[in-house]
A and B are shown apart, each in its own frame.
Chain A
Amino acid sequence: MSQNNSQSDSIQNPRVTWEGCSVLLDINDGDRLVFARLSAGSTLKIGNKTYSLQPLIGCPFGSLFQVENGDQGHCLARFVPSIEGNNIQEKGDFESQDEIKDNRALVDNNKAQSLTGEEINAMRSQGATGDEIVEALIANSATFEKKTLFSQEKYRLKKQKKYAPKVLLRRPFARSICEAYFKKYPARIGFLRVDALSLLLSMANVSANSDVLVVDMVGGLLTGAVAERLGGTGYVCSTYLGSTPYSIDIVRIFNLSNEICKRIVRSPLTDLSLSQNGTSEQIHQQGDEINQQGDEINMECLSNNQMSSSVGMEEISPTENDTSDVISETTVSPVNKTGKSTKAGNKAPKQAIDLWKENGFSSLIIAAPELDLWSLLKDLLPLLANSAPFAIYHQYLQPLATCMHNLQLGKMAIGLQISEPWLREYQVLPSRTHPCMQMSAFGGYILSGIKICSSS
């Protein structure tokens, strides 16, 4: 089953990993998120130990892995939870027995745990599993029995994270990639929250066979998300001002097939502009030269990355560990580069550019926090087919307000709206349902509208 999936081109979104595929590793319920490319040589560091990622190859996404003591020392092994998880019984217990206990007997004097660090280390060296250590800690806790069942579960989970870490194998999708970046490195994706990204894709009517023009200064997240929706049809054309394309490195984290990657192209705005048919030859030549340069620069960036961390592996992890104390080091050994490297973001073919000039793009999405929005939009809007929708993201309101006002005055678009999504997560537990204590207060603003025919 897993073997068949090594050719990912035939299958849109394979559910089983293969050698060379990109994965998102969720360590201990989101405490640490690591993007990795699976190969025989790739490894993951948890705590002070390094584990081979080899056992993850050929496993279904969604699989859970645990550290086990094997013949060759510690390794990651598949952990299959039983269907009737202990959850059910425990949850039942919560409801029936919970009410009698409270925290009146708990004294915070740091003496509750009688097991010392040396004793734990001794257990480890004798080959005790993480789960056994957790059980020992519970048995030696003076206060565990006095806790409510709910806080007992919390305690168990905390110890489990430290002594028996779990690794969840997840598919890198626009959803998980955006969430991972937003959680750990929001600045790299321009603080674009997943609900705002969803809105951009919907408002711009991204659908199979459409030709989507994007200005992506959010690391390639937008380009990748659009390509994912196109599924190897149409085009996503990432345009840029000047001679150097903006980085779309995040695209490599998506498991996009070659077919899909071919549909991700880049073109400088000057090449797309309608007015430059006459001297286009010259401009093309210039553009080519500059582009080559640009590519070289890009390659350099990549190899630098490789030295510091690795190509195709993006470590997303908090530098200091707030909740989980197990993770002291976050370095990851480099992954070899043998994984298939489909080249996304080639220069847009001349044929395609000519077609866009003739027909116009079917939609436009801008996420360019560093550009002057109105002057950009003035150049881009004429490239859009009439009645085509557009959506512009910004983390500040004012540039969008100015754009909206100018579009209204110029009668260039209708259905104009600035919206700000608000997303709240809930904790849902028996008798304990409430909004989560922490929430993201801001996910960005979006200006959306529909281009209309100019009145002249």
Chain B
Amino acid sequence: MLPIDPTKKISFTRHICDGDLVVVYERHDNMKAIKVCQGSVLQNRFGVFKHSDWIGKPFGSKVFSNKNGFVYLLAPTPELWTLVLSHRTQILYIADISFVIMYLEIVPGCMVLESGTGSGSLTTSLARAVAPTGHVYTFDFHEQRAASAREDFEKTGLSSLVTVGVRDIQGEGFPDEFSGLADSVFLDLPQPWLAIPSAGKMLKPDGVLCSFSPCIEQVQRACDSLRSNFTDIKTFEILLRTYEVREVKMDCSQGDEAKPGSILPRKRPQRAIEKGNEQDKLSSQTVMARPCSEAKGHTGYLTFARLKCLS
């Protein structure tokens, strides 16, 4: 997934090979990660796709099924992975993820601790941020979940950047061997206040901690426990509003049939363009945008704090 190996980097000359991980894009809300395997097929509502047809094509290609249905084959990125990974837990999405990476001040070479691993959505982005020389140590108390996460990192080629441990961080804290070595710590735990003292021990002075909690009561208790050793404590909520864009025909005619000022949405704007404007002389085409009517109203609160500098 990451260009750690320069030969795997996407380019005009890089083609899909046997064994590559590709993201099969049907629609923006329907994608799937697939390991390309000579002799294998993908079957979906568009028909049957032979993997052998994909090999040798560049990433970003449109490929066809036996019924002439099509999908696009994309190179995986942490953002796409977040959309296709198998949900073993509730996961973090791009708005929270990008903000966490920025606010934790993670740059190449950093050492980052995370708990819990969950489905590995954030972990994938953490790995990208610390690459090529840093490392992410992530812990989950659920043995099976940790194993699945490990398999995923193997699949996405991040194993050299991520180590998954099985450990109850709320109960036992982070392992002592990381004491004073972490640049940043991320907690997504039901009772973060139990892990905060340990997180404080792990961080370098001035290192940043982030705790993600869906409920304000968790935030309240986390902040209480942060106040003794941390400073610059801030809590945020970040959401995304998305917009839909369409070309609409604004009717300017004074005729009887058309009501003045009415907006006639066009489902297939390209047709209108191809036809030309000749018969639409009395109307104008305008591209308009409006917020999508559905959105995530809440994901979680992000609380950040900086370890006090005492030496």
Contact = CB atoms under 8 A, between A and B. Distances in A.
Interface of A: 12-13, 15, 60-64, 80-81, 83-85, 87-88, 91, 171, 173-175, 194-195, 197-199, 201-203, 205, 207-210, 228-234, 358-360, 362, 385-389, 397-398, 400-402, 404-405, 408-409, 414-426, 428-430, 433, 435, 445, 450-453, 455
Contact of B28 (A228, A230, A359, A417): A417
Interface string B213-245: 000100110011001110101111111111101
Contacts of B97: 202
Interface stretch (B42-50, B103-111, B256-264): B103-111
Interface in B232-283: 233-243, 245-247, 269-270, 273
B72 A209 contact: no
Given A173-B105, A198-B98, A205 B79 contact: yes
A26 to B, nearest CB: 9
A224 B152 CA distance: 32
Nearest to A409: B270
A88 to B, nearest CB: 6
Contacts of B129: 207, 229
Contacts of A401: 243, 245, 287-289
Given A360-B10, A402-B287, A428-B219, 6 more contacts: A13-B109, A81-B308, A91-B224, A201-B102, A210-B9, A426-B236
A445 B235 CA distance: 23
Contacts of A421: 95, 238-241
B98 A414 contact: no
Contacts of B75: 387
Interface in B54-112: 58-62, 72-75, 77-79, 94-95, 97-99, 101-103, 105, 107-110
A404 B102 contact: no
A209 B102 contact: no
B11 interface: yes
A453 B58 contact: yes
Nearest to B247: A405
Given A229-B107, A231-B108, A419 B242 contact: yes
Interface of B: 2-4, 6, 9-14, 25, 28, 58-62, 72-75, 77-79, 94-95, 97-99, 101-103, 105, 107-110, 125, 128-129, 131-133, 183, 204-206, 216, 219-220, 223-224, 227-229, 231, 233-243, 245-247, 269-270, 273, 287-289, 291, 301, 303, 306-311
Given A417-B28, A426-B235, A453-B58, A83 B228 contact: yes
Given A231-B108, A420-B240, A424-B236, A175 B3 contact: no
Contact of A362 (B3, B108, B234): B3
B219 A386 contact: no
B135 to A, nearest CB: 13
B239 A230 contact: no
Contact of A63 (B59, B234, B240, B309): B309
A4 B205 CA distance: 17
B228 A229 contact: no
Provide the main secondary structure of the chain B interface. Answer: mixed
Contacts of A175: 102-103, 105
A424 B237 contact: yes
B11 A420 contact: no
5 contacts: A60-B205, A62-B205, A207-B128, A209-B9, A385-B12
B287 A88 contact: no
B228 A85 contact: yes
Contact of A386 (B59, B240, B289): B59
Contacts of A194: 99, 102
A386 B60 contact: yes
A194 B306 CA distance: 18
A419 B245 CA distance: 11
A405 B287 contact: yes
A362 to B, nearest CB: 6
Contact of B78 (A171, A199, A205, A398): A205
Contacts of A387: 10, 58-60, 73-75
Contact of A195 (B74, B107, B216, B238): B238
Contacts of A452: 60-62, 72
A386 B228 contact: no
A386 B206 contact: no
* Residue in A360, A401, A425 with the greatest tally of chain B CB atoms within 10 Å: A401
Contact of B228 (A60, A84, A389): A84
Contact of B98 (A12, A202, A408, A428): A202
A197 B102 contact: yes
A13 B129 CA distance: 13
* Residue in B14, B78, B109, B206 with the greatest tally of chain A CB atoms within 10 Å: B206
A415 B80 CA distance: 10
* Residue in A81, A202, A433 with the greatest tally of chain B CB atoms within 10 Å: A202
Contacts of A209: 2-4, 6, 9, 131-132
Nearest to A234: B3
Contacts of A418: 242-243, 245, 289
Contacts of B2: 207-209
B289 A397 contact: yes
